[in-house]
Amino acid sequence: MTDMHTDFLTLMAGIIGLLIVASGIGYALKQRVAPDGSNATIENLNARILAWWGMTAFLAVAFLAGRGGVILLFAFASFAALREFVTLTNRRRADHWAIAAAFFVILPIQFWLIWAEWYGMWSVLIPVYAFLILPIIAVLQNDTEDFLMRISQMQWALMICVFCASHVPALLFLDIPGFEGRNVLLIAFLIVVVQLSDVLQYTWGKLLGRHPVAPRLSPSKTWEGLIGGVASATLIGMALWWITPFTPLQAALMSLIITLAGFFGGLVMSAIKRDRGVKDWGHMIAGHGGFIDRLDSVVFSAPIFFHLTRYFWSMT
Amino acid sequence: MLKPFLAWLTGNAITTFARLITAVRAIWDGVEPVPAQRVYFANHTSNGDFILIWTVLPPNLRARTRPVAGADYWLTSPLRSFIGRDVFNAVLIDRNSETREQDPIALILEGLDTGASLIIFPEGTRNMTDAPLLPFKSGIFNISTARPEVDLVPVWIDNLNDVMPKGKLVPIPLLCTVTFGAPIRAAEGEAREEFLKRAEAALLALAPEATEESAA
């Protein structure tokens, strides 16, 4: 237990040090280039740094509060993300009860099941039961206009914002021999590597980016950014092997997989935004985008990270 | 002692709940959140409309802003009356012109003369149609000609009708925005119809594009 706390504190100290350096750079850039806040890139960078401070603070508090704290934190993030997603879907008045059920029944049950360690149930609640029951609730309202589109979008919203997101706190309940009491560090590993990969892709892209991966989707996501970001985040993930049950090589491989999943997750979520004609998912903080804008890559990588770890390392 | 405290507590509970469900955000577009006396006039699609405006107003403005609401709704039960009178400090008017004893405009002007800002819904009733706005009633014109020195601030409330459609008891969480636009006043000698059209246009100009597409 103390071992976990030492590792956790070391990691926290590292992150806070990194954020202080980042904030300093952000501040210096702003002072030198555009103190009046007219440079969009620098403003965006500073907004991101601020969001990471917030994220770090929330995570630290939740981790200190234990399993319940982590589950509550992700249940709330999931609620906020679902609120953003559903706002952008095609809804009709007939969907009211199905949507209300998604928010107030399915979401709490999903996180309660994770708390209750009922893997067999939480892993099928949304892909099986919600998938079948919500269209039934919707169809009973007798409105078939855009029906397939409406029920598909609702299922997608639940899969992304609740099902996928709930795999993050689920990491706490994996039973890994020799790693008892340290599972919270798996969450820290996942979030730190994926978020750093986002930053590094952004930085490499700004420095060297020439060739966009998907020009019609996002001119700022380039091959140079992708390769540089994923490679450097993989190295950092490897260097963090000591907080995981993995060997350095395994930690590098895991980092490679989750950073790639995160990158493509960001791309998919951008495509949805483009489709709906919006720039940001929401307005969590004015002008800084929504929860999904900050968490899209973590949401895509969490289930893959969970299942790989569970399959190869867990006893359950 | 107890009642004002309960009212304060209830007010905070209501705004917290409104924020949880709608994550409501104010957009000040052409007007600043400063404590000047104003009449906020908004589109009306839901019973929660003035709550959302009240929630996004900074506390110093909120304390001196009173919604104008129908006495026929807010005085029908002790709980509603507590919320209407004590929590929101509403100016309660009787919308039934047959039975009412006091002229609503007189009550509204009385409220303005105490220095309070007001929230009004110039459509007169909740808009249940597919049209973005119902034609305005004359009330807003009468207020502006009687108190020409008070700014009328258009306020567009977006998405709330999908959060809580009429007849549904459970709200669904969706992001909402409240957009405050540039103030207008009735010009000297401006005709009623002309002013009402101008006020409607000022409010409609704040509606985001997306509201026109959403089929709900």
List pLDDT tens digits, range B4-45. 899 999 999 999 999 999 999 999 999 999 989 999 999 998
From the list B130, B126, B138, B151, the residue with the least C-alpha distance to B48 is B126
Q: What is the pLDDT of residues B64-77, one digit of tens each?
A: 999 998 888 888 89
Confidence of residue B211 (pLDDT cuts 50, 70, 90): very low
- Six-digit token string for A244: 């995981």
Q: Which one of A23-27, A100-104, B91-95 scores highest in mean pLDDT?
A: A100-104
N- to C-terminal Cα separation, chain B: 45
Of B23, B25, B172, the CB nearest to A96: B172
Residue of B nearest to A94 (CA): B216
Q: What is the pLDDT of residues B94-139, one digit of tens each?
A: 877 777 778 889 999 999 999 999 999 999 888 888 889 999 999 9
Across B69-105, b (16+ Cβ under 10 Å) vs e yields bbbeebeeeeeeeebbebbbbbbbbbeeeeeeeeebe
Between CA B81 and CA B87, with CA B84 as vertex, the angle to 5 degrees is: 110
Does residue A93 sit at the B interface (CB-CB below 8 Å)? yes
Position A248 pLDDT exceeds 50: yes
What angle do helix axes A223-239 and A184-208 make, rounded to 10 degrees? 150
Residue of A nearest to B177 (CA): A283
The fraction of chain A above a pLDDT of 70, given in percent, is: 97
Helix (H, G, I), strand (E, B) or coil at B70: strand
Sorted by sequence, the CB contacts under 8 Å of residue B140 that are 6+ apart come out as B39, B41, B120, B122, B152, B196, B199
Contacts A–B by Cβ distance under 8 A = 46
From the list A303, A312, A223, A237, the residue with the least C-alpha distance to A265 is A303
Residue A108 Cα distances to A119, A172, A183, A205, angstroms:
15, 18, 22, 39
From the CA of A46, how many Å to the nearest CA of chain B? 21
Q: How far apart are CA B12 and CA A33, in angstroms?
A: 42
Does residue A82 sit at the B interface (CB-CB below 8 Å)? yes
Task: Please answer yes or no on whether B216 and A80 come within 8 Å at the CB atom.
Answer: no
Does residue A80 sit at the B interface (CB-CB below 8 Å)? yes
As a three-state string, the secondary structure of A18-56 is: HHHHHHHHHHHHHHHHCCCCCCHHHHHHHHHHHHHHHHH
Provide the chain B residues 78-137 that lie in CB contact (below 8 A) with chain A.
Answer: none
Predicted pLDDT at B212: 42
Chain A residue numbers touching B23 (CB-CB < 8 A): 80, 83, 282-284
Q: How far apart are CA A257 and CA A38, in angstroms?
A: 37
Q: How far apart are CA A20 and CA A15, in angstroms?
A: 9
Q: How far apart are CA A280 and CA A293, in angstroms?
A: 7
Q: What is the mean pLDDT of chain B?
A: 89
Does residue B159 sit at the A interface (CB-CB below 8 Å)? yes
Q: How far apart are CA B144 and CA B154, in angstroms?
A: 13
Does residue B165 sit at the A interface (CB-CB below 8 Å)? yes
* Model pTM score: 0.90
